[in-house]
Structure 1
Amino acid sequence: MVWAKRAAVLCAVAMMGAAAPVLADTLVVRASGPSARSYPPGAKLADGGSLLLKAGDVVTLLDAKGTRTLRGPGRFGVTAAANAVPASNATLAALLDTKRVRRARTGAVRGTVSEAPAVAKRPNLWLVDIAQPGALCVADPAAVRLWRADASKPLNVRIIGGGAQAAASFPAGEAMAAWPAKLAVKDGAAYRVETGERSTEIRFALLGAVDAGLDTTASALIAHGCQAQLDLLVDTAAR
């Protein structure tokens, strides 16, 4: 009987431990103003702590619920208020989903060709914006797709790098196109995307398996210098 009671107690303790929530980090994702050096992007802040901001300071924090922007002067708690409204889970899930990009055919835009583009920003974090230069973080090399903001007209692009080149085409009304299979998607690979009107330099940074959490994704983007994707994540996660 004694051993049975002990076993029951241990089992209950183990279940309590398993049910305990995993706390996400609170990260600084943007900072400007006199105190910006004290709160660099990527810095992790302890729950229960506070930020002392001066006049002109603007600091954006990201946690499991989304992002919030603090403006000085004043002292602000790191932990968001319990009644804070989280960012749209559906919108963030679509933004971070690597499977969604892998399944995508080409990403047709509804409506007639003469209509204004239906999408102004990348609907998924892992798409390659052909107009956005700089580091481009990749979670799944096999799911890389090109994306353009204006799908009203057909567009041919040429991609050059690593001693090779290839072409990709966007039919009218299509926002996405496949990445050329002959061009390797590997860490550090640099390419130039030419559209005739614009030439954009991009560099791939492979992240490997990515946890879909906001904080872990933001940390990875900051660590690899993928600023455009970080900006998209922060703006989408605003609450």
Structure 2
Amino acid sequence: MAATLPVEGVSRRTLRSETWIVLALSLGASGVSALISFVGSLTRPEGLKDQAATLNGSYAPGRPWLDLAWQLFGIASALVPVLLVAHLLTREGAPGLRAIGFDLRRPWSDLGRGTLVAAGIGSAGLAFYLVVRAAGANLTVVPESLPEVWWKYPVLVLSAIQNSVVEEVIVVGYLLRRLDGLGWTPYAALAASALLRGSYHLYQGVGGFVGNMVMGVVFVWLYRRWGRVGPLVAAHALLDIVAFVGYGLLAGRVDWLPTA
């Protein structure tokens, strides 16, 4: 189980405020945005599966260098909350992100575990998505709609890594450490983490919400067992890389993959 130390000299009120601020600057805000987007999708005349949720799109169509600049800026700026978390962990006397197991002490172990987790979740997740979309409970997810330029796949890989680092560091490592420190029970902390993960995927539809909640439960359980977010970052990055790059290579070339 991951160890959680109290923050000496810091009140519970301060810890609660700090946690809310971190979430408001990152995935908590994404959860609110996803809810608004989902309401918008529900109130459109067409069904959910006839609408698309694009994950990686162009910021400047027809202007590849400007588009690249925006892509890299978006990836870099999204990582700022992770730097804030590292600062807050260091402030409490912990060794920064190493306190939650995000470091290079066990790279091959983290990658090996992450690969196994990604293989299991990826196959089940794809099947679940296809079923719920066919049932009309999910939008058509378009992992990428970037132009065919030289930087397309490197940017998709960087985007996948950014997603994995932000989500696992904040939603698992940091949030559980703070909720444990505030006296939440392990089950309550698990529910909060899983619900948050589901919330910011709600823009994809009911399937995106439920599927990611289940993934959140699995990831919290694994974090408690291993005490490291490293394997979870590796697993999430592999899942997104396969989804983003795979869609770019297969969309329109296979019949089973839905496209917008």
TM over 0.5: no
| Structure holding more strand per residue | 1
TM-score bracket, normalised by the shorter chain, equals under 0.3
Q: What is the TM-score of this pair, normalised by structure 2? A: 0.24
Greater Rg over alpha carbons, structure: 1
Higher RCO (CA-CA < 8 Å; seq separation 6+):
2
| Structure holding more helix per residue | 2
